[in-house]
Amino acid sequence: MFFRKLSFAAFAGMSLACVSSHALAAGPKPVKPLQGYKCLAIDAPDSVMMDFNNPIPLRSAPNDHAPVIAPAAAILAVNDPEQLDNGYVKSMNFAFKPGWVPTKWLKEYSEVHPGNTCAPYIMNDGKLGFKFGH
């Protein structure tokens, strides 16, 4: 009897793991490259990245006093060639709302992640996403 219950528990656990992996696989998928854009990555020291009271901002205009739209994502889609102004690069959030990120901590994606590639994409949910490769 004990082994039958154990077998059922093991089967139930494996089934749940399979269902969970399928649920994760059903997430947003890249469907269309975002032409004219490239990936930049934030490459800041841990002290900057872990300062949750002062995250690297995505601002509404290219200056230090413009309102913050949101914290900048670790990977950004930017125009190629980059649109620079006053030490900021034009980018966008995941809903395609434009914003400006200070260039101080930004590098080409391939410099921060050697041997890997990144391309901005429109996802099947209509939001900004990225397709990564090696």
Give the number of domains in the chain: 1
Query: Which parts of the chain have pLDDT scores under 50?
Result: 2-3, 6, 8-12, 16, 19-20
Instruction: Please check whether residue 87 lies inside any domain of the structure.
Output: yes
What pLDDT, on the 0 to 100 scale, is given for residue 55?
95
Each residue of 43-63: pLDDT tens digit?
999 999 999 999 999 999 999
Instruction: Please check whether residue 23 lies inside any domain of the structure.
Output: no
Residue range(s) defining the domain that contains residue 47: 30-133
What pLDDT, on the 0 to 100 scale, is given for residue 101?
98
What pLDDT, on the 0 to 100 scale, is given for residue 45?
95
| SS3 of residue 9 by DSSP | helix
Instruction: Please check whether residue 7 lies inside any domain of the structure.
Output: no
Listed residue (99, 72, 96, 107) closest to 83, CA to CA: 99
Report DSSP state, residue 51: -
Residue length of the chain: 134
Burial of 36 (0-12, 13-18, 19+ CB in 10 A): exposed
Long-range (24+ apart) CB contacts under 8 A made by 85-92 are: 86/62, 87/62, 88/59, 88/62, 88/63, 89/40, 90/62, 91/40, 91/58, 92/128
What pLDDT, on the 0 to 100 scale, is given for residue 26?
78
- The pTM score is 0.78
Instruction: Please check whether residue 2 lies inside any domain of the structure.
Output: no
Instruction: Please check whether residue 38 lies inside any domain of the structure.
Output: yes
